[in-house]
Amino acid sequence: MAILNNTILSDYHDQLIKTAVPGEYFLPKFATKDLFKLKTNAIQREHEKRVKKMKKHFDKRLPTQFNFSAVVCTTSFTGKYQGEIVEVLPGIDMVDGHTRRHYSKDAEDYPEYVTLTLYLVDNWEDYKNIYYSFDASEAAEKTNEKIVGACRALNIKLTSSTALGGGFGSALDIAYPGDRKDDILTKVAYFKTELEELDAIGLMKPTEGKMKAQTLMAAGLMALKIYGEPPETHARMVGGLHQLAKARTDAPFWVDPDNWFGMDAIAYQYLEQGDPDKWWVEKGYLRSTKFMSIAPQMDFIWYFFEKYMSKSRVAKGKGVKPSNFEGKFEEYQEALININPPQGYSSNEDDE
């Protein structure tokens, strides 16, 4: 077979299997050490840093961990990726398993052999599409579908269309204090009671659409758990979240000319009142779930949650600057972990 002309595959001529799928081959016993002879895919994201996060899953030694995939590039070709011209040379490029391959270098008792599926390609479109068939979000079950399934499995009672459709995935990721790579079921189970509460309060379907923000939902989930006890404290937080859910620009409750009272400042910001140049959260960050925008929003929200819970006023004349609330999100995430650590959480996990 022409595929065996590749130097890496020359030792595998006795076991190479041509499958029923055109252009697909299978090696049932590929030496693990030979994985490192395969090139990193030209559009592979940084994967070395993911090894530490994924270690606990890889340590389970599930059979699927040892199935790898690669493309055999039979000729040179180029393609455009994120505005750059990418050149692909003949050879074998990894498709699926970069992180697992990296992990195997230092793992004890890792199998000597793995399975390898190979796909013949001679053009950029096939090269790219095969990679994304493994890596793209479209290739996996959508997050909201997983959330709906998890809620059904845990018998969580929800009523709003947003909640029923699993439309709080980003909020769940932001609020969850454990490993972001934990599965959806674990995250949903962690906030089981709080999800029902937040939905009943109305923050998943607020009176005004501008208040429907994943960051507000995330803060609400955290707050309901942090302030779960005693009942009086919990009731106060529930009351504050009700204020946010019912906030309206035509019936503002931030009318005190001299002071901010916690929830009114949050509603004022998310309803986009006042001069945008003087907003506490930059316009480009407000409601965004991009990584760089989360902390500025959550810091701001938690600063005023704190003021609300302590019944403290913030003088309008004095002003509030981002430096006043920087680090609040991290502070309350730590508080959440201390109050209710996620299953399997270890405070020295990063040191392992």
pTM for the full predicted model: 0.62
What angle do helix axes 214-226 and 192-201 make, rounded to 10 degrees? Answer: 120
Choose among 50, 43, 198: nearest CA to 133.
43
pLDDT given for residue 191 in this prediction = 96
pLDDT tens-digit readout, 124-175? 999 989 988 876 544 444 788 889 988 998 989 999 999 999 999 999 999 9
- Given a cut of 90, whether residue 1 has pLDDT beyond it is no
Q: Please report which helix (H) or strand (E) contains residue 217, including its range.
A: helix 214-226
C-alpha distances in Å from residue 206, one per residue of 106, 161, 173, 196, 212: 50, 12, 21, 15, 6
Q: For residue 313, what are the contacts with CB-CB under 8 A and spacing of at least 6?
A: 259, 260, 261, 307
Residue range 92-133, pLDDT digits in tens: 999 999 989 989 988 888 999 999 999 999 999 999 899 888
**pLDDT given for residue 140 in this prediction:** 41
> How far apart, in whole angstroms, are the C-alpha atoms of residue 242 and residue 345?
32
> CA-to-CA distance for 125 and 50, rounded, in angstroms?
27
Range name among 139-143, 239-243, 274-278 with the lowest pLDDT average: 139-143
- pLDDT tens digits for range 294-323: 999 999 999 999 999 999 999 988 778 788
- Give the model's pLDDT for residue 121: 95
Q: Is the pLDDT of residue 192 over 80?
A: yes
Residue with tokens 């507000």: 216
Sheet of 67-73, strand order:
17-18, 24-31, 113-121, 67-73, 91-96
pLDDT band at 11 (very low <50, low <70, confident <90, very high): confident
Over residues 65-81, the mean pLDDT reads 92
The residue-averaged pLDDT of 240-267 equals 94
Least confident of 28-32, 177-181, 307-311: 177-181
Average pLDDT over residues 245-267: 93
Q: Count CB-CB contacts under 10 A for residue 167.
A: 20
Give residue-wise pLDDT tens across range 207-237.
999 999 999 999 999 999 999 999 999 999 9
